[in-house]
Amino acid sequence: MPFEPTGEGLRQLGELGVAFLFSALIGLEREIRRKSAGLRTYTLVGLASALFFLISKYGFGDVLVADKVVLDPSRVAAQIVSGIGFLGAGIIFVRTDSVTGLTTAATIWLTAAVGMACGAGLLLLATAATVSYFVVAIGFPPIVRRIQRTRRTDDVAAPEHPTSVSKP
């Protein structure tokens, strides 16, 4: 009798949605504090991590037998995660105070998770993650620009480090 946990339903979409929301909140805080990785990067990394975990948890029921592991397909998933991490690291460049490639690396990681979900037959989760990516890639830049505009206005109004001190 094969072990078949359900892996695509409202509960898993809710879990993916909560990961999206929480990761976006963390990214928003980082964006407001002017850290190099911000709203989009953190959201994509959190979303991809949730998707990887859901894939590991639910995506291999068709190759498992109750009370006996026929093979361990989660090892393959783990190796994909590690391999994509190295690929993403090769895209990140640091020059003085500038970091580039973080969102690209996170997007590659997310894309790998979407591919794994599709391969595991978790098409609803893959669809939700893909739609979420487009929300991040298209919907978040105007929010980021608004935050950056507000920061520039705040910086002009109240400089952090005055260059000269006038005597009374």
What string of H, E and C letters represents the secondary structure of 23-85? HHHHHHHHHHCCCCCCHHHHHHHHHHHHHHHHHHHHCCHHHCECCECCCCCHHHHHHHHHHHH
Strand partners, 65: 2, 68
Tell me which amino acid residue 111 is. Answer: T
Structure tokens at 102: 């973080």
pLDDT at residue 163 greater than cutoff 60 = no
What's the chain's average pLDDT? 82
User: Please, which pLDDT band fits residue 143 given cuts at 50, 70 and 90?
Assistant: very high
- Mean pLDDT to the nearest integer, 8-24: 92
pTM metric for this prediction: 0.67
How many CB atoms lie under 10 A from the CB of residue 36?
Answer: 13
The CA angle 39-18-13, to the nearest 5 degrees, is 120
Structure tokens at 138: 């298209």
Q: How far is CA 124 from CA 12, 55, 59, 158, in A?
A: 9, 12, 12, 48
Q: Return the SS3 of 110.
A: helix
Q: Return the SS3 of 3.
A: coil
Entry field: residues in the chain: 168
pLDDT at residue 5 greater than cutoff 80 = no
Parallel, antiparallel or unpaired: strands 93-95 and 98-100: antiparallel
pLDDT at residue 135 greater than cutoff 80 = yes
CB 7 within 8 A of CB 57: yes
Question: What is the rounded CA–CA span in Å between residue 76 and residue 83?
Answer: 10
pLDDT at residue 29 greater than cutoff 80 = yes
Structure tokens at 139: 């919907």
- Mean pLDDT to the nearest integer, 26-42: 85
| % the chain with pLDDT above 70 | 86
pLDDT at residue 10 greater than cutoff 60 = yes
